[in-house]
Chains A and B, each alone.
Chain A
Amino acid sequence: MLRWKLALPLLMFAAGSAQAADIGQIKVSKGAVTIDRAGNALPGNLGVHVQQGDVVKTGADGSVGITMSDNSLLSAGPNSVLALDQYAFDTTTNQGRFDTSLKKGTLAVVSGRLAKQSPGSMTVSTPSAILGVRGTEFVVSVNDTPAAR
């Protein structure tokens, strides 16, 4: 019982700060990697946690690999811009939503527990298309041309 009494305030805290919750972690970081968070540019170093709304950017020599809390793996090559638009994951039911968008560059994806539980709960958007992820591994690129906009 004691465990539950202790857990309750923690749960309430987690719910109250849902927007700032960590949803994944940078596991690989090479070259220039930055995270745009609420108008600030933070270094995208190894071990840094990412949050919903973050925009991850890589430079000409950069690449980054992120493991999400649902086991999804996202990795972007050089000159890429990846926005973590929406993320919600219920660890008990495996239900939720995961929507990212690749604005430019290259991205490799391995889907995780969310897409496995509910095909349709994960999308990757590009400026011109929406990818519905039924599982499990793919790559996507966005050409860096005016036509891509």
Chain B
Amino acid sequence: MLRSGGLNTGSSDLLSARRRGSVRLAGAVAVAITGLAVLGRNSDPAGKPLPAAVTLGAAIALTGNANLYGQDQRVGLELAQRWFASTPHPRPVRLELEDGASDEPSAIAAFNLLIGRGVIALIGPTLSQQAFAADPIAQRQGVPVVAPSNTAQGIPQIGSFISRVSAQSSVIAPLSLDEALERDPQISRVAVFFAQDDAYSTAETAIFQKALAERGLTPVSVQRTQLADNDFQNPITAALQQKPQLVVISAQAVDGGNLIRQLRELGYRGQIVVGNGLNTPNIYPICQRWCDGVLIAQAYSPDLNTPINQTFRRLFQDANGNRTPGQITAQAWTAYQVLFEALQRLQKRGEMDGVTLGEARRRLMQEVLAGHYDTPLGPIHFRADGEVVQGRFYVAEVTMEANGRHGSFRLVRSFDVDSDAGGPTP
């Protein structure tokens, strides 16, 4: 039997039967929505009492293009968790890792999942681009976020629950340019490369190019690449036709590492300055001996001689076969440390007893911003808007071993910076 697909069936019985069906359906939907709303309210963990063992949630990139950073962060977080768990503390803290992958929807999903599970605070996400999408969710639900690696402008300004331990690139990026220009004051021709499909790299290249302009240098070539690129023959040969004396790169570890290698192979012998995306030992196996001599400004130096950094470095080397930790790992440790210490201070003052999770989250955020921390990055504290205030930054030079397989970021110079006042001083 065929069914009519037309609008006018000509049957009034059928019409009234349809109306009755529609009313019943609307009623069922209304009941279901009300039920879900009630259930949702009851299952919102913010209204429940704070559990004895509180959980910190970390949403970091364990898969996707940014997983190189996420894996470094996982190492830092797990080392910090083990270390601080072994120190005397009044309130046990658990760590729950969730893969925030390398895109915005995955970071949002990871944040939602962890918040729903009742974490007291969040660490992450890995990329600034993800933070702009996921942080507003934590802000709306009153969950503190400490970002370990978001350096783009405007992250803490997303809201009062958002902070970061990673200094913004506008503070540190120009430091490496100054080092390059001091080594060769005759530099007048600069080529700039940046990954155009990466929010962080495009923001950083703007900072680099502004810093170049302030130093009287106009790029002779600006080449746009993409994160997934691995063959740079075209942009490199185009840039080399302009005979640059300095190359400035804003990219991520893998594409940037390949770019450096191919620049050298195609005959470029001048200085190379790179941005924060290449601030990881993971570039060594990619650009190998060709990494040698690359200049980079850093927020962390393994050479910092403080007890907490010595501890961090020793634990890292014990777990990773004598390798030297990088900035991303140190910042992840620091994010955990900040939250852990703020929690323990609150607990010692009895301010975490008998409160709901929502209230505990609010108090924790205030305590995070109020505290001073002695971290592997050096002493840090926060501005009222959640921006980190770090006193010292570094310029390092990549130094590769003779076999070209292993290397290190050799400290060249450190700069004391008054973040609130602005400019760095060597």
A and B part of one assembly: no
Q: Which residues of A pack against B, CB within 8 Å?
A: none
